[in-house]
Amino acid sequence: MRRTISAVPFGVYQGESVYLYTIENIHHSKLKVLSYAATWYDFEVQVDRQPHSLVLHFDNLADYIETPYQVGKTVGRVAGRIGNATFSLNGQTYHLPPNNGRHLLHGGDHGLQTHNFRARFDPDGDTVTLTTTLASADDGFPGDLTVTISYTLKADDEVQISYYGVTTADTLFNPTCHVYFNLDGQAALINPQQLRINSTKLVHTNHEKVPTGVFYVPSPAYDFREQPTIQSQLDRLIQETGRTEYDDCYVLDHQDEPAGVLATTHGRLLINTDRNGLVIFTANSERTQSYRLGDYHALAVELQTLPDAINHHGFGDVVLRAGQPRTYVNRYQSCQNSNQ
């Protein structure tokens, strides 16, 4: 079987048609992407010769537009929070309209997650390329930023997402995909699944989830290096802190190892990035689901440069210079037990 890419309508957003693109490889795995918000819609792999979904998704555009959880969407210019919605660049201080209390979250209310991207692809290829431009007049950041996002499904069931940015003036650039995974399907709980994060320190945040500028060594409840079950860590978390959820950023230590691994009985998902941060967020983002406190149907994994990096030394470089394009790459590989 050859590779194929198809496109079908998925609704209308602000007067523009939204399309769902499907990339299928020789193993009948499928990567599905929306033009709206360059959304990662689904990743289907074969389990016992049946299609099996690994990504939380909705079956209609309205739910994507209305959800506050940014399900599958590309967020940015800058993923995460910018403290006090303020930063300085080239000696000038920028005050942006806050959208998360006093702070800016995911680039604000006019970020990439609000755009319907233009798409191009080769029907016999393995990549869908999506492009849009963020205007400085709309979001308040310096420079008009053109972002090109390429979704690729490789023959070995690896999804690659590349983020290419070019700007008319020096600006900030740190987008990511706010994808939610559940390797057992979105009707199941993620609690029994195993999670490994190759990190020995976390970003310390204040009560508003804004970084304070320091790192800290994880207590047992936050230490995922030995690939524990998510449930066992939630149990420790309740004992240590009284909290019942994760919303935390890990500092990645080794670029030559998987940043993370999510595993279940039928296989694993290997997670890699060329940046230094991995955010996890336990969530129940479907309004109709009923659940007990501490039960979760999805795990968001956001690969990015550390949040609020522009305001903290040692957090990473998110400055994109005019005329100097930059590309980031995130990778997610499905490894099914039957194929190993």
Annotated catalytic residues are: 178, 302
- Helix, strand, coil share (%) of the chain residues, nearest 5: 10, 45, 45
**Burial per residue of 165-194, b for 16 or more beta-carbon CB atoms within 10 angstroms, e otherwise:** bbbebbbbbbbbbbbbbbbbebeebbbebb
Beta-bridged to residue 282, according to DSSP, are 299
- Give every strand in the sheet of 16-24, ordered side by side: 4-13, 16-24, 30-34, 40-47, 50-53
Integer Cα distance of 158 and 155 in angstroms: 7
How many Å separate Cα 206 from the centre of its chain?
22
CB 39 within 8 A of CB 31: no
Integer Cα distance of 127 and 159 in angstroms: 10
Burial of 91 (0-12, 13-18, 19+ CB in 10 A): exposed
Integer Cα distance of 97 and 176 in angstroms: 21
Contacts of 287 (CB under 8 A, 6+ apart): none
